[in-house]
Amino acid sequence: MFVVRSLPWSGWVRLCAAAICLALPGSATLGGTVGASATLEERKLPMNFKWHAAQPACAQDCAGWIGAVGVITSDTPAKFEEFSGGRDLKGTTVVLDSSGGSVLDAISLGRRWRGLGLRTTVGIVIEREIAGGVARDIVPDAYCESMCVFLLLSGKTRHVPEGAHVRVHQIWMGDRADDARAASYSADDLMIVERDIGRLAKYTFDMGGTGDLLSLALSVPPWEALHRLSADELRLTNLVTTDAVADVKTPSDDVVGSVSRKAQDRVVSAPAVVSAPAVVPVISDVSDMRPVPAGTKTAEAHVPTGGAAPSATDRK
């Protein structure tokens, strides 16, 4: 069976029949740039991985970045294995922009990332033309919500830049997230939810997270807005291990710690080449802070994923 996350739009919820999900109420406000529409569409799709190599001049000190955008589905762990085949991922940073997805598959993928020693952060990777090649930047105005937060936790080193949005809520039954209060629940439904909360709790502690993360997430029902973690809560939950951008840009042998940093609300990625003004801090190969075009728009990032929960007979 698969535990999935679903948004409370009825058309999508119907596709999540009998699945457990992390329900995301309400629509999202996204910071836009040129190519915003394409990025919003990408966020509605199953998670996609894209490799962003370091510049030749930076190769001695910088590792590659992996852009991870979209919803975690039952296929995501296998897609990552296919993506990572033949690549040296030592010191690599995963840049997350995701509204969450399948609970059990996020746990599986997170354990894989920890085993590889990957670093994690929140943002959108953009590439821009410069003299002699292409430079890469991370725009921090992105969202990591629901089970994405637990993928963030899997990083050996974890940084949440100011401007990023990290938000949490409860596990729920996907086919009933649209009207959770009015729905009915069987003993089997409750058993599945309780079981997967236990699995999520074990994973959280294995990754170095605290009980405060579980407490914050499990206190937000699907009929309420997601809770955005404050800078203090990011430290309290141990979702951040460093305040330094450089710690997720260069390889090292740092171990999971309990230092801190900032967070907060959601975005879109820019196109391959960006050329407009605005002021949004970004992480860059060339400098740590650089202006990047920005704007705002409201969009609905629905997207159902995962499979149906097994019948009571199948679970025996």
Q: What is the mean pLDDT of residues 92-100?
A: 95
Over residues 285-296, the mean pLDDT reads 30
Strand partners, 67: 50, 95
Residue 27 has pLDDT above 50, yes or no: no
Residue 108: is its pLDDT beyond 70?
Answer: yes
CA dihedral 262, 227, 170, 152 (to 10 degrees): -20
Single-letter amino acid, residue 78: A
Asked if the 10-315 domain carries CATH number 3.40.50.10490, the reply is no
CA-CA distance, 244 to 174, in Å (whole number)?
A: 38
Mean pLDDT to the nearest integer, 26-44: 49
Judged against a pLDDT cut of 80, whether residue 73 lies above it is answered with: yes
pLDDT value of position 43: 76
How far is 239 from 183, CA to CA, in rounded Å?
A: 33
Residue 33 has what pLDDT? 39
| For residues 278-305, average pLDDT | 32
- Is the confidence at residue 75, as pLDDT, over 70? yes
Question: 238 near 159, Cβ under 8 Å?
Answer: no
33 and 97 Cβ atoms separated by less than 8 Å: no
| pLDDT tier for residue 18 given thresholds of 50, 70 and 90 | very low
The pLDDT score that the predictor gives to residue 28 is: 31
Contacts of 67 (CB under 8 A, 6+ apart): 48, 49, 50, 51, 52, 95, 97, 124, 125, 269
- What pTM did the predictor assign? 0.69
Nearest CA to 144 out of 133, 136, 152 is that of: 152
Listed residue (92, 97, 242) closest to 159, CA to CA: 242
CA torsion through residues 273, 276, 280, 283, sign: positive
pLDDT at position 82 is: 97
The CB-side HSE value for 92 (13 A sphere, CA atoms) comes to 23
Residue 90: what pLDDT? 84
Q: Give the length of the chain.
A: 316
More confident residue, 289 or 36: 36
More confident residue, 296 or 209: 209
Q: Quick one: three-class SS letters along the chain?
A: CCECCCCCCHHHHHHHCCCEEECCCCCEEEEECCCHHHHHHHHCCECEEEEECCCHHHCCCCCCEEEEECEECCCHHHHHHHHHCCCCCCCCEEEEEECCECHHHHHHHHHHHHHHCCEEEECEEEEEEECCEEEEEEECCCEEECCHHHHHCCCCCEECCCCCEEEECCEEEHHHHHHCCCCCCCHHHHHHHHHHHHHHHHHHHHCCCCHHHHHHHCCCCCCCCCEECCHHHHHHCCCCCCCCHHHHCCCCCCCCCCCCCCCCCEECCCCCCCCCCCCCCCEECCCCCCCCCCEEEEECCCCCCCCCCCCHHHHC
Work out the pLDDT band at 93, boundaries 50, 70, 90: very high
- When mean pLDDT is compared over 48-52, 244-248, 264-268, 303-307, the highest value belongs to 48-52
Around Cβ 170, how many Cβ atoms within 10 Å? 20
Tell me the two tokens of residue 310: 């097994």
